[in-house]
Amino acid sequence: DAGITQSPRHKVTETGTPVTLRCHQTENHRYMYWYRQDPGHGLRLIHYSYGVKDTDKGEVSDGYSVSRSKTEDFLLTLESATSSQTSVYFCAIKNRADTEAFFGQGTRLTVV
Amino acid sequence: AQTVTQSQPEMSVQEAETVTLSCTYDTSESDYYLFWYKQPPSRQMILVIRQEAYKQQNATENRFSVNFQKAAKSFSLKISDSQLGDAAMYFCAYRSRSTGANSKLTFGKGITLSVRP
């Protein structure tokens, strides 16, 4: 257990509403990532963080924003959810010395 | 930018047999890591095996081994003595060895492995 928790685990929301997903870690890892998983696309990087208040865009960042005001929390916000954002979202963490990243359990988000 | 390609969407293997999952990647870097992750129906992402590009020896973890061909940019996973619990989706992934903003994983699209009893 790498001490990473995603919340909520499941969420159904309506088109046009704001949604925030939370990734919480207890390991003081420097790097945190948000991925989305869709059939036929594997996992695609949305945003990542390499330190408090240091974030950058991934390959599918449109429609998403992130914030990291403290080491342990990395928030992913959908400002106005769309049906194309229905997906499974994974958070991952890694430290500088780590070779691999550790993943949370995933959040299944459905936008109706 | 780095890319990872898994061209086979599905494969099937008989229990106790051996199966090989293919992966190719593209990069201009010389130092990097390659990974195979397993995702069972529980959705959890489980690291199966990793390979450091500077190591010529292929990585092995019990029944799992890789065939790493750096010049060909190929990284296949061999599962020996397949078990029913091996049924899952498998992802190949790449990460640069550099730190900072480049320290992110790039995944292939995945392959669904089924195991026939």
Quote the CA–CA distance of A20 and A111 in Å, as a whole number: 13
Q: For residue B47, which residues of chain A lie inside 8 Å, CB to CB?
A: 100
Return the residue in B21, B54, B105, B106 with the most chain A beta carbons within 10 A, the one to mutate for interface testing: B105
Q: In whole angstroms, what is the distance from residue A64 CA to residue A47 CA?
A: 8
Over 60: is that where the pLDDT of B11 sits? yes
Q: Are the Cβ atoms of A43 and B101 closer than 8 angstroms?
A: no
Which of A45, A61, A96, A99 is the best mutation test for B, with the most CBs of B within 10 A? A99
Task: Identify the pLDDT of residue B100.
Answer: 59
Lowest-confidence pick of A62-66, B13-17, B27-31, B107-111: B27-31
With a cut of 90, say whether residue B34 has pLDDT above it. yes
* A96/B91 Cβ within 8 A: no
Q: Which of A33, A42, A88 sits opposite B91 (nearest CB)?
A: A42
The whole-number pLDDT of residue B113 equals 98
Read off the pLDDT of residues A40-68 as tens digits, 9 standing for 90 and up.
899 999 999 988 999 999 999 999 999 99
Radius of gyration of chain B (CA): 14
pLDDT at residue number B98: 73
Q: Is the pLDDT of residue B106 over 70?
A: yes
Rounded to a whole number of angstroms, the distance from the CA of B83 to the nearest CA of chain A is: 24
- Which pLDDT tens digit goes with each residue over A75-93? 999 999 999 999 999 999 9
Show the tokens assigned to B58.
């292929």
